Amino acid sequence: MEKKVVLRRNAPATDAPYSPAIIYGSLLFVSGQGPMDPKTKAIVSGSFEEELELTLQSLKNILEEAGSSMDKVLKVTVFLSRMEDYAKLNEIYKRYFIKDRPARTCIEASRLPFDMKVEIEAIAAI
């Protein structure tokens, strides 16, 4: 099998040493997604709820660009800057993952890139 890099059409170019997502066989590995404004392509600093909605939408977009969907997500890792936001995470998260929810790990990180409040990575089927 050969790995294939998925490049985001609707994201800013970056010189960072990683790929937004990798397809390997029938699996998709999505790098951590954050609260990116789809129009300006800039990281948004807002309330936790605003940042989480944008982060989940960003994840949804890259899944779809790669030929997958939220329904095909197998595993999610959520990084929170404050574990106090865990209940808010669950309320919004369950609107994106409705049926047969993926396995999930949630971790409090002392600091996320760009001082984001949330970052989410995922593994999905294609």
Strands of 118-125's sheet, edge to edge? 3-6, 21-24, 27-33, 118-125, 73-80, 103-108
pLDDT of 11 reads 56
β-sheet bridge partners, residue 106: 78
User: What are the tens digits of pLDDT across the range 13-52?
Assistant: 567 788 889 999 999 999 999 999 888 888 999 999 999 9
Identity of the amino acid at 112: L
Pairing of the two strands 21-24 and 3-6? antiparallel
User: What are the tens digits of pLDDT across the range 68-119?
Assistant: 999 999 999 999 999 999 999 999 999 999 999 999 999 999 999 999 999 9
Backbone angles phi, psi at 54, to 5 degrees: -65, -35
Tokens of 56: 């989940």
| Domain 3-125 in CATH 3.30.1330.40 | yes
In the chain, where the domains are located: 3-125
